[in-house]
Amino acid sequence: MASHPELTDDFTQQLYRDVKLSGACAGRALARNTALSRISLFGRKELMKLLKLPPRLAGLSTAGFPESCWLSPNGRPYSSGVPSGDHLLYTARHFALRASLGKIIDKEINPFVDKWEEEGQFPAHQVFKTLGKAGFLGIDKPTEYGGLGLDFSYSAAVAEELGRCRCGSIPMAVGMQTNMTTPSLTRFGSDELKKEFLAPTIAGDFVACLGVSETGAGSDAASIKTTAVRKDDDYVINGGKMWVTSGFQADWMCLLANTNDGPPHKNKSLLCLPMKLPGVHIAKKINKLGMRSSDTAEIFFEDVRIPRKYLIGEEGMGFIYQMLQFQEERMWGVATSLVCLERVMEETIDYTSQRKAFDKPLLHNQAVHFRLAELATEVELLRALLYEAVGLYIRGNDVTKLVSMAKLKAGRLSRELPDSCLQFWGGMGYTNEVLVSRMYRDLRLLSIGGGADEIMLNIICKHMDILPKKNQKG
Ligand SMILES: Cc1cc2nc3c(=O)[nH]c(=O)nc-3n(C[C@H](O)[C@H](O)[C@H](O)COP(=O)(O)OP(=O)(O)OC[C@H]3O[C@@H](n4cnc5c(N)ncnc54)[C@H](O)[C@@H]3O)c2cc1C
């Protein structure tokens, strides 16, 4: 059984393992027992019909391969139609879900992406309402809060499809809403808290953001300085958060703060923090290399009061909850990168087959088509690794090592592939007119955000038991 490398003592390691298992089992049990017939939103009902889901989700598991589907070997039809044949993880339902989302992306998102990139922000409330109405913000969330009650493999399918957006910002912000801010709230939050924060987030009425990183603490999340101190029936919050995705538009933040003076892995809690409270100061919108239609904020807190009931789960468990939450964040990031990378390749193939140099299409040079074949192979390897991690995760396994490997590989490939493709576009690749240059910038984040490559390497080494122990000599 794996442990987390950032947890230094045996007690906390054990706690992490226990919480991980109980959380995964609870999530699965919830999915099994929830009644789909309670879903009332029109868009969601349509989706249910499309998916032909039974009235109860008894034993629903994507581990069941019987309704398997065919995946085209050339990779292009992943997102269109419902294929037939065999697929390792996805059933016809997964493909139906993807096809339905694909239509929304084509109609409601892609035509406006260039404008939103120029403006430095996409309208999160508008886009999320559209996605929420159609059921896409609560895929793996319980039906009593408006979710679809499906398992995480369906979220992975949705994340893959979101890779068809012509920017990285929107898949990232949707993931923030669905699998980066809400997994802990769903697993450990009280019913009251879920009604107040989870249900409107699933409906697309609230925009959610995550407050973990600070100016002085990113990779080393245990060293954050923001405090939430108990005073009567309230917590009083002071400090600040950095790099807050959707920070300008968010209605609430899933906040990691120190709630006592104990050791760094036992003194933290996760809290739901409404953003429109006195003392919440949004300092500035950060001007970034990429992800330009995502608003990224630096935020300060000055004596912000929230009721104690806004605590998620148990006090002192925040670091462990956040480490669990990171697993879904990382799988989401990997899944969204796959189709983005494939689209960059597809457009490069189209361009190089039309563009001629020395009397032949660029694509006819072996250096070009061999390189593209090499990269396509890498994408498929990454996809296989992701599917293995997701398949094991939905069966309640600890997938920290596989997820870290997939995140590391996705980060590396997201630098390598757009760079190689951009080269084949020549001067055109260096303009802002083409997808390849946007993805070159946007996907660079994967090696940094949600745990940098080096942090993934650390976790993998820990699982391989090759990380030098503290004070180890020789
Ligand atoms: C666009 C964007 C959006 C983001 N959104 C959010 C958000 O919504 N919420 C949130 O909480 N955070 C968010 N982040 C923060 C992100 O998670 C951090 O940037 C990331 O964790 C790295 O932290 P850092 O920037 O402080 O880098 P540092 O911790 O200063 O690390 C800098 C570099 O040092 C190296 N390094 C670090 N530790 C080690 C080590 N142990 N061994 C070897 N090398 C090491 C790595 O190469 C790393 O990239 C976002 C960041 C960006 C850029």
H-helix or E-strand spanning residue 15: helix 10-33
Choosing from 219, 329, 467 the residue with most ligand 1 atoms within 8 A of its CB, the one to mutate for a pocket test is 219
Going by alpha carbons, the residue nearest to atom 29 of ligand 1 is: 219
AA identity, residue 187: R
H-helix or E-strand spanning residue 327: helix 318-354
Going by alpha carbons, the residue nearest to atom 23 of ligand 1 is: 218
Residue 29 confidence (pLDDT): 34
448: CA distance to ligand 1 center in Å?
5
* 231 contacts 287 by C-beta, under 8 angstroms: no
Q: Within the chain, what is the greatest distance between any pair of CA atoms? A: 79
DSSP assignment of 97-130: HHHHHHHHIIIIIGGGHHHHHHHT---HHHHHHH
Atom of ligand 1 nearest to the CA of 256: 11
Going by alpha carbons, the residue nearest to atom 12 of ligand 1 is: 213
Q: And the tokens for 428? A: 């055109």
Atom of ligand 1 nearest to the CA of 219: 29
DSSP code, position 91 = B
Choosing from 213, 288, 326 the residue with most ligand 1 atoms within 8 A of its CB, the one to mutate for a pocket test is 213
* 316 contacts 335 by C-beta, under 8 angstroms: no
Whole-number Å distance between alpha carbons of 327 and 144: 24
AA identity, residue 95: F
pTM of the model: 0.87
322: CA distance to ligand 1 center in Å?
15
Going by alpha carbons, the residue nearest to atom 31 of ligand 1 is: 219
419: CA distance to ligand 1 center in Å?
22
Pocket residues: Cβ below 6 A from ligand 1: 209-213, 218-219, 243-245, 288, 291, 296, 445, 448-452, 454-455, 458
Whole-number Å distance between alpha carbons of 189 and 182: 10
All residues at 6 or more sequence positions from 376 whose CB lies less than 8 Å from its CB, including other chains: 75, 342, 345
Residue 71 confidence (pLDDT): 31
Going by alpha carbons, the residue nearest to atom 48 of ligand 1 is: 452
Going by alpha carbons, the residue nearest to atom 2 of ligand 1 is: 243
Which of 83-87, 225-229, 394-398 is predicted least confidently?
83-87
All residues at 6 or more sequence positions from 466 whose CB lies less than 8 Å from its CB, including other chains: none
pLDDT category at 48 given cuts 50, 70, 90 is low
DSSP assignment of 168-226: SHHHHHHHIIIIISSHHHHHHS-HHHIIIIIHHHHHTSS-EEEE--BTTBSS-GGG---
Whole-number Å distance between alpha carbons of 38 and 45: 10
Helix axis angle, 10-33 relative to 318-354, nearest 10°?
A: 70
230: CA distance to ligand 1 center in Å?
29
Choosing from 285, 330, 448 the residue with most ligand 1 atoms within 8 A of its CB, the one to mutate for a pocket test is 448
* 324 contacts 179 by C-beta, under 8 angstroms: no
450: CA distance to ligand 1 center in Å?
7
Is pLDDT at 128 greater than 80 in this prediction? Answer: yes
What is the tens place of the pLDDT at every residue in 433-473?
A: 999 999 999 999 999 999 999 999 999 999 999 999 877 76
Atom of ligand 1 nearest to the CA of 246: 8
What is the tens place of the pLDDT at every residue in 262-287?
A: 999 999 999 999 999 999 999 999 99
User: HSE on the CB side for 133, CA within 13 Å?
Assistant: 9
* 71 contacts 338 by C-beta, under 8 angstroms: no
| pLDDT greater at residue 77 or residue 451 | 451
Strands 296-307 and 311-312: unpaired
452: CA distance to ligand 1 center in Å?
6
Atom of ligand 1 nearest to the CA of 294: 1
CA angle 332, 335, 336 (to 5 degrees): 85
Going by alpha carbons, the residue nearest to atom 19 of ligand 1 is: 449
Task: Name which of 219, 152, 159, 226 is nearest 183 in CA terms.
Answer: 152
Residue 86 confidence (pLDDT): 77
Going by alpha carbons, the residue nearest to atom 38 of ligand 1 is: 219
Return the residue matching tokens 């956040």. 322
23: CA distance to ligand 1 center in Å?
26
Task: Name which of 286, 326, 278 is nearest 304 in CA terms.
Answer: 278
H-helix or E-strand spanning residue 437: helix 435-442
pLDDT category at 43 given cuts 50, 70, 90 is low
Whole-number Å distance between alpha carbons of 386 and 89: 10
pLDDT category at 50 given cuts 50, 70, 90 is low
Task: Name which of 219, 424, 451 is nearest 328 in CA terms.
Answer: 451
pLDDT category at 172 given cuts 50, 70, 90 is very high
380 is catalytic: no
All residues at 6 or more sequence positions from 222 whose CB lies less than 8 Å from its CB, including other chains: 6, 264, 265, 268, 319
DSSP assignment of 361-396: EGGGSHHHHHHHHHHHHHHHHHHHHHHHHHHHHTTT
Q: How far from 6 is each of 26, 66, 227, 284, 321, CA to CA, in Å?
A: 25, 40, 20, 31, 13
Residue 61 confidence (pLDDT): 30
Atom of ligand 1 nearest to the CA of 291: 1
46: CA distance to ligand 1 center in Å?
40
What is the tens place of the pLDDT at every residue in 396-440?
A: 999 999 999 999 999 999 999 999 999 999 999 999 999 999 999
Query: Could you say which of 161, 329, 342, 346 is catalytic?
Result: 329
Q: And the tokens for 154? A: 């369906």
- Residue 25, judged by CB atoms within 10 A of its CB (0-12, 13-18, 19+), counts as exposed
Residue 57 confidence (pLDDT): 31
